[in-house]
Amino acid sequence: MSIFPIVTYDHSGLRTPAEPIPENNDGLPEFIDNLFDTMHQAGGVGLAAPQVGIPLQLFVVDADIMTEEEDGTKHGPGVFINPEVTPVGDEEWDAEEGCLSLPDVREKVTRPYRIKIRYFDREFQVREEEHEGWYARVLQHEFDHLKGVLFIDYLGSFRKRLLRGKLQNIIDGKVETEYLVVAKNADR
Ligand SMILES: [Zn+2]
C-alpha cells in the first residue's frame, strides 16, 4: 500500500490533459489500489490520477458516504478508465463541491443533472451507464480533472475574486490538511 501526495491548486499536474491508458498496462492494478488508498486516507469520495501528478485518464470513486446521505443511493467503489461523459437532457442543478486539490474551498457549481458515462472498468471491459444526481456530479467532477478542469473554473469572476486569498494560501502551502499534499510554492 502506498499513499501518494495530492497535488494542489496551481500545480501544473492539475492543468495537464490526461492521456488514454492502453490495455495490458502492467502497473495498472497496483496504481489503482494506491489511488483508492490515497483517496480513502484523505477522506475523499473521488480521486483522479492527475491529482497525484500522473497524467492518465483514470479516476476512482467511492461516493456512497455522500450519495447515501444526500439522495439515498448506493453505487459501491468504481474504477473509470478512459471515460467519456456526456450530459443527458437539459436539466441542471446547483450544489456545493469541494476537492482534495483545493483544500478549504467549497463553492456552488451548476452541472447537468443526468449523464451518460462510457468507460473501461478495472478488467478493461467497456461499460456504458447513465447516472443522475450526486453520483453524476461526482463523476463529472472527476472527469473534469482528466481534462485539466477544476470546479472553480465554473465560477463567475466575482466569486473567483473572493477566493483569491484562499487560493494564494494553497499555493503558498499555508493550508492545513490531514493528508499529504504538494503545494507549488511550499518549501518541502
Ligand atoms: Zn477534485
Active-site annotation holds for 142: yes
Q: Is residue 130 part of a domain?
A: yes
Which pLDDT tens digit goes with each residue over 142-152?
A: 999 999 999 99
Q: Which of 92, 142, 176, 178 is catalytic?
A: 142
pTM of this structure = 0.96
- Looking up residue 104, the CATH number of its domain turns out to be 3.90.45.10
Name the helix (H) or strand (E) containing 130: strand 126-132
Per-residue burial over 155-165, b = 16 or more CB atoms within 10 Å of its CB, e = otherwise: beeeeeeebee
Q: What is the pLDDT of residue 25?
A: 87
- What dihedral angle (degrees, nearest 10) is formed by the CA atoms of 60, 45, 17, 9? -150
- The answer to whether residues 4 and 42 touch, using CB atoms and an 8 Å cutoff, is no
Q: Is residue 13 part of a domain?
A: yes
A 10 A CB-CB count for 101 gives 26
Query: What residue type is 179 in one-letter code?
Result: Y
Q: Is residue 187 part of a domain?
A: no
Q: Provide, for the chain, the percentages of residues in helix, strand and coil under a 3-state DSSP scheme, each rounded to the nearest 5.
A: 35, 25, 40
Determine the distance separating the centroid of ligand 1 and the alpha carbon of 8, expressed in angstroms: 10
Counting as low any pLDDT under 70, the low residues of the chain are: 185-188
Q: Is residue 65 part of a domain?
A: yes
- Number of domains observed in the structure of the chain: 1
Q: What is the pLDDT of residue 184?
A: 74
Determine the distance separating the centroid of ligand 1 and the alpha carbon of 143, expressed in angstroms: 9
Q: Is residue 32 part of a domain?
A: yes
Q: Is residue 1 part of a domain?
A: no
Q: Is residue 188 part of a domain?
A: no
Determine the distance separating the centroid of ligand 1 and the alpha carbon of 102, expressed in angstroms: 7
Q: What is the pLDDT of residue 188?
A: 45
Q: Is residue 104 part of a domain?
A: yes
Give the gyration radius of the chain's Cα atoms. Answer: 16
Domain containing 53 equals: 6-182
Burial tier of 115 (Cβ tally within 10 Å: 0-12, 13-18, 19+):
buried
